[in-house]
Every structure is written in C-alpha cells, then in structure tokens.
Chains A and B, each alone.
With several copies, the nearest count.
Chain A
C-alpha cells in the first residue's frame, strides 16, 4: 500500500497541522495532539479521542453542537493520559467535562488515568464508554463490546445537550441513553496498512471478506466468501436488529459508514438495502447518514449503526451542528 505521506513518524503531527490550517474554527493546543474549538463557549465540555487513523473522527467533530476537544494518539494507539489531561484543562469552563471513550482496554485505561488526574485538580469530570459493536458477544469474552462508529451519535446528541446548556449529569445521562440504544456491526473487503509498519493488517484472498471487523485493522470475528451487497447487509442488519430491540413502529437513525476505501456509490447501494429492510419491518428512518464517519485508514468495507430514538434523542439529533465533518442547520 502506497501512502501519501512524508516521514511515517510525522504522520499524525502533519495531519493535525493540516486540519487546523484548513479549519479556522479549530485550533491546536501548542505542543500537544489536542484539537479544540478556536472560540470556546461557557457550557459543559465534551472531550473524545483515541488513536488516529479514524478520520474524520475525532477532530472532525470538534465544533458547535458536538465536541470541544479531540485528542489524537498515534495511528490506532490510544493517546496518553497527559494529552487527555491537556484537553480537559483547556476546555473546562467550570461546568465540568464529559469524556466520551470507546471501549478498548487502552483507551479506557489512558482516559481514566487522565480523569483521575483531572479530578485531583478539582475539575468535575464524568465519563461514558461506548460499546456499540454487536459483532463480539458480551457473554463469551469478558472484555465487552467494542466502541465503533456509533460513537458519532454520542458526539452529536450529547454535544447538542451540552450546547443547549444542560448540566454535566444531564449530558452524561443523555450520552448513556444513546449508548444503550445504538448498535453497530462492520465488515471489510480489504485490510489497511499502518504507516509505521508499512504492512497490511491482514491478508485476504481474492474472494474473501472479514465479517465483524473493528476499526483498528484487526481481523474480524470470521472470514467468509464475498457475497452480494444485499446479502452482506442482511447478515449485519439481522444481528444488529436482534441485539437492538428495535421493533415495528420504532423511529431510528441509521449510519452507513464507509471504512475508508469503499466508494460512496457502494455505500449507497448498501444503504438502499438497509432502507428496504427497515421499510419492510415498518421501522421509520428519521435520519440517515451515509458516508465516512469513522474510518480505518484505507480499509475497504463498511459498518451499519442503528440508533433507536425517542423524542429527546430525536430533537437533540436534529439540533444544529457546525463541525468540519458534520454540519446541519
């Protein structure tokens, strides 16, 4: 895999420089890998982050109605506690900070250490852990489900709650409601290559795909032969529906998320089937997001996220947002 880059060890740094150069509403805290809003607002602050390589997550969601800071680690590597702490300190307006963490051992440990340090400094801090990936059974493996693309719904909805002036406890309650109601699953047609290693994350045969893939290039739960888009969608959606408790008459938001190299045309082909299936179940799609929201470098593949909505979530989902990767009026 060829990369459009300079030195591999400058990959994240130069990416962050490019992000702030392109988006004047963002700025970088000097000497860190933290991106914050250029014009902060007095309100509960939201901080998220994780390894790099998932762009536009998470720096692309910093801005009005979503995050206040995004902390980027090395590619696919959780950022360190001191970086997270810098972000917390920078965005705290005295109304407290909510950390949105994806459920990976590394992310949880590094963010929790930062939270401990911030608490010791007297900052009101809460955390939520997103675990939306239904590919991994919770029961068999004690590690719990992973956090994947459904995290973007947490940013959007909890971000709208904070923007509306709600307090830390309320914003946390709402974030947890999103987490309880969002379920996702992904698959890959091809691997990705971490810049530092230069090697593909796995090797697939001409007709093979990985089902139940995460967002760090790790292999999925199993390997299959490539099938028609509709059949692949059905495999993922059946499992998501089984876990989600979404039933006829419910209102949902759907994210059809590209992992990096899959063309938008194919994401729409896949979304077509999702819409058809949900329509047949009489599940109403209040909002559909089709595009690249949480990627895995240049992996080909996609994930589906289904969020069950109630009135509160729906109105927050519909609230305005103005960030590089998510804008709505």
Chain B
C-alpha cells in the first residue's frame, strides 16, 4: 500500500540516493551524453524533497503535483519534463486518495509510462528510461501485490543493465550512434533506482544495487 507517509519517505530516500549516485550518473552521461544527468536528478529531487518537508498534503494528488512542479522548475534538460510528467500522471491517477493499493499503483505507473511516451516520443528499445519504466510497470500490473513490487524492481534492474548493449536512437546519446553501445543509459539507471526506492518505501526489504559506471 502506498500512503502519504510512504510516498513522502520515498521522495526523501530517492533524493538521498541520487545524491550518493550523482557522480556515477554524471560519469555515465559523460560517456554518451553531456555529463549532467546525476547533477540534474540530484538537484531536482533535492528541491522536491525540500519542498514537501514539513508540509502536509490533503491527498496523494496534491503531494504528487507539488513534486511535479518542483521538478519542472528545478531540473531542466530532458529528464526534468520526463520525471515531472511521471508525477503529473501520478497526481491525476491518485487524485483525492490518501492511500492507494497496488492495483492503483500499477495504474499510476502505466499512466506514467503513457505520459513518458507522449512527452519523449520514444519507444521501448531506444535506450531511454522508457526501457526500464515499461517492463517494471508491466511487472506490477501482472501481479499487483508486494511480490509484484519486488518483481518490478528485478525487471527494472535487468532492463537498466541491458541498456548497455544497445545503441541509442533517442536523446542525446543517439548522436553517438554505435558509439553509445557499451555504456548503460543514465536515465535507465536513475529509473531503476526509482523502483528500488519506491519498493523499499512501500514493501521494504529491497536489496539495493550498488550501481557502478
């Protein structure tokens, strides 16, 4: 179950994790992009976490809307509008709810995927964060319970690592063509961490990957 408290805790934990992983994500982006994905994500989720600290929100919709706005105003780059879209979709899906069950979480994730596709005009397999979001949200949809959350993390992690072996055809890494093969997509890694922290906040006991470049 996702509550106002667990979602707040998730934002804080994800912000902290991104701060730790900032250099790893920057380094990955350095190889196949412009070297700022970690800095962008850490800055954005720090802003979002600070924005919601000490605040009370009427429902998950209001909380997610606040996070979306904070991301939109602080990230920039490609990841800003994309992660902001995720939280806007969450806000729509979970409007007026103070807690949601895993079916509703799965619907929120599916809507987020749809939003990401619409915003970024990418398909699965183009070496973008969509490669992670799609299988992970499908895993939860297939089994909307605690185990499904863990399965989502597993497929997110797997997809993030698999992004190493394909060339990018969307985003900045696409300009490198075949030279983008051999490096994991930074947005896919930050997304896998998203699922790790979301699962840890909701179901607990997630073994966190120690991501390396």
Any A–B CB pair closer than 8 Å = yes
Q: Using CB atoms and an 8 Å cutoff, list the residues of chain A in contact with chain B.
A: 51, 73-82, 104-106, 109-110, 113, 135-136, 140-143, 146, 194, 196-197, 199, 201-202, 212, 214, 216-219, 221-222
Which of B12-20, B75-83, B141-149, B198-206 lies at the binding interface? B75-83
Given A199-B30, A217-B35, is A143 in contact with B174 using a C-beta cutoff of 8 Å? Answer: yes
B73 contacts across to A, CB distance below 8 A: 80-82
Tell yes or no: B134 within 8 A of A by CB. Answer: no
| CB under 8 Å from chain A, chain B span 1-48 | 23, 26-27, 30-36, 39-40, 43
Tell yes or no: B158 within 8 A of A by CB. Answer: no
A106 contacts across to B, CB distance below 8 A: 76-81, 172
A142 contacts across to B, CB distance below 8 A: 126, 169-170, 174
- B172 nearest CB neighbor, chain A only: A218
Which of B57-65, B91-99, B175-183 lies at the binding interface? B175-183
| CB pair A197 B40 closer than 8 Å | no
Q: How many residues of B contact A (CB 8 A)?
A: 37
Q: Which label, helix, strand, loop or mixed, suits the secondary structure of the A interface?
A: loop
> A139–B119 Cα gap in the complex (Å)?
22
- The 6 nearest A-B residue pairs measured at CB: A106-B78, A216-B34, A109-B81, A106-B77, A143-B174, A77-B77
| CB pair B175 A214 closer than 8 Å | yes
Tell yes or no: B140 within 8 A of A by CB. Answer: no
B78 contacts across to A, CB distance below 8 A: 78, 104-106, 109
| CB pair A73 B175 closer than 8 Å | no
A77 partner, pick from B36, B72, B82, beta carbons under 8 A:
B36
Q: Mark B155-184, 1 if CB is under 8 A from A, else 0.
A: 000000000000011111011110100000
User: Closest CB of chain B to A209's CB: distance in Å?
Assistant: 15
> A113–B26 Cα gap in the complex (Å)?
25
- A113 nearest CB neighbor, chain B only: B81
A197 partner, pick from B35, B82, B175, beta carbons under 8 A:
B35
